[in-house]
Chains A and B, each alone.
Chain A
């Protein structure tokens, strides 16, 4: 299983980014291989609008089955749901601790967007 977490950093000790749509990248951890890659999300920064939608599309294209982030807007949530990617919410911390928390069952799947979208 692959787990994606937004982060400005390049390794598992980096912090989780509180922004989903405008995170500079995602760390995608493969629980079977115990390896990770950094998926770039920065081209998305050029978008004046719809960053959450594009980020969700980017996550989906990494093959991740789960994405863990502090919050998701309704548009991002809609895309993740359509793509069959589980959206899980977390609080601040390192990418590594967040993934461990999830694997230990400490984090739960979000069944609705926890933030209002575009105003």
Chain B
């Protein structure tokens, strides 16, 4: 089963919940960090790295002998990755989406493809080998999160419980991370900001037609807006994590949820079974 952990905005405790879930269960688990612009699950899981691999994408390479400097490729490119100044085009690989359009419009077949690296996948394990950790990291300078996320997901096997730490927000890297997950946990805070961003996230998972429930972090610190919303919308609240100042302190030092709030352990342990049952009911 694949459980994606997402949130409408950053800083609500998404990584805290994803890490806690991975550490709570006693079975083997894969933690997939798809927050590739800011992968920080490893700060808390501290995996031993066994190997790394590059994320490669194809970008155009111009054969200047064949090129007649017609500029059609640059005119076609929607991403400004090619520029023609009456010369063979300049290529800006970091802007290229690898759509293949330039080669299609080139009248002299002057464009071939070369592979460039846009990020890195790290494979490791934590908690004496029980937790496998796959982390994707986008290179500084690249804006193409989806290929890195796709490669992280290519490591996910079907027979192992998987926790997917999604990027914050509701934009396309989130959609890419959610694609293929069986269930979504939306992490929020009981504040007006938290509720506002939760509603956007709920809209997104509903559009995608995915089963989901909500985890309220610091539930006793705000108002009852989130709980009322969930009640009205008939959204199940999977967990309510109490506010402890010590949690902020533990977090700032790279500790995990149960270091500050050990009594949450039993609930987190049972989340996969609860989801399993919930999915069967639906």
Interface residues of A (CB under 8 A from B): 47, 49-51, 53-54, 56-57, 60, 75, 78-79, 82-83, 117-119
**A82 with B90, Cβ < 8 A, contacts A47-B80, A50-B81, A119-B140 known:** yes
Instruction: Please pick, from B83, B85, B87, B95, the residue contacting A118 in the complex, using a CB distance under 8 A.
Output: B95
- Please give me the residue from chain B that is nearest to A75 by CB atom: B92
- Which residues of chain B from 178 to 198 have any CB-CB distance to chain A below 8 Å in the complex? none
B85: nearest residue on chain A (CB-CB)?
A: A83
Task: Give the complex CA separation of A53 and B83 in angstroms.
Answer: 7
Q: Contact: A49 with B90, CB < 8 Å?
A: no
Taken together as a complex, chains A and B put the C-alpha atoms of A57 and B92 apart, in Å, by 14
What residues on A are CB-neighbors of B141 within 8 Å?
Answer: 117-119
| Closest CB in chain B relative to A7 CB, distance in Å | 22
- Per-residue CB contact flags for chain B residues 79-97 toward chain A (1 = under 8 Å, else 0) read 1110101010010101100
- Does B52 touch A at the CB level, under 8 Å? no
Could you say which interface size class chain B belongs to?
10 to 19
Neighbouring A residues of B95 by C-beta, 8 Å: 49-50, 53, 75, 118
Give chain B's interface secondary structure class.
Answer: loop
Q: Which residue of A lies closest to B95 (CB)?
A: A50
| Whole-angstrom CA separation of A104 from B79 in the bound complex | 39
Asked if B143 is at the interface (CB within 8 A of a chain A CB), the reply is yes
In the assembled complex, how far is the CB of residue B97 from the closest CB belonging to chain A, in whole angstroms? 10
A99 smallest CB distance to B (angstroms): 24
Residue of A nearest to B140 (CB): A119
> Given known contacts A49-B80, A118-B143, what 8 new A-B pairs fall within 8 Å (CB)?
A50-B80, A56-B83, A75-B95, A78-B92, A83-B85, A117-B94, A118-B94, A118-B141
| B residues in contact with A57, CB < 8 Å | 83, 85
Closest to A81 in B: B90
CA distance A50 to B141 in the complex (A): 13
Closest residue of B by beta carbon distance from A21? B80
Residues of A within 8 A of B143 (CB): 49, 118
Question: Which residues from A are CB-within-8-Å of B81?
Answer: 50
What CA separation (Å) do A78 and B141 show in the bound complex? 16
CA separation between A84 and B140, bound complex, in Å? 29
**Which A residues lie within 8 Å of B85 (CB)?**
57, 60, 79, 82-83
Q: Which of B210-254 contact A (CB under 8 A)?
A: none
Residues 148-164 of B at the A interface (beta carbon under 8 Å): none
A-B contact pairs, 15 of them (CB 8 A): A47-B80, A49-B79, A49-B80, A50-B80, A53-B80, A53-B83, A53-B92, A54-B80, A54-B83, A79-B83, A79-B85, A82-B90, A83-B85, A118-B141, A118-B143
Q: Are B87 and A50 in contact (CB under 8 A)?
A: no
Answer whether A82 and B80 are a contact pair too, CB < 8 Å, given A50-B95, A118-B143.
no
CB pair A50–B140 under 8 Å, yes or no, is no
| Bound form: Cα–Cα A53–B140 in Å | 19
Contacts of B83 in A (CB 8 A): 53-54, 56-57, 79, 82
Chain B hits for A47, CB < 8 A = 80
**CB-based nearest A residue for B88:** A82
Chain B residues within an 8 Å CB radius of A82: 83, 85, 87, 90
Closest to A56 in B: B83
Report the Cα distance A78→B80, complex, angstroms.
13
Give the complex CA separation of A47 and B95 in angstroms. Answer: 12
Question: Closest residue of chain A to B90, judged by CB?
Answer: A82
* Ranked 3 nearest A-B pairs via Cβ: A50-B80, A83-B85, A53-B80
Chain A residues, CB < 8 A from B79: 49-50
Whether B80 lies near A79 (C-beta < 8 A) is no
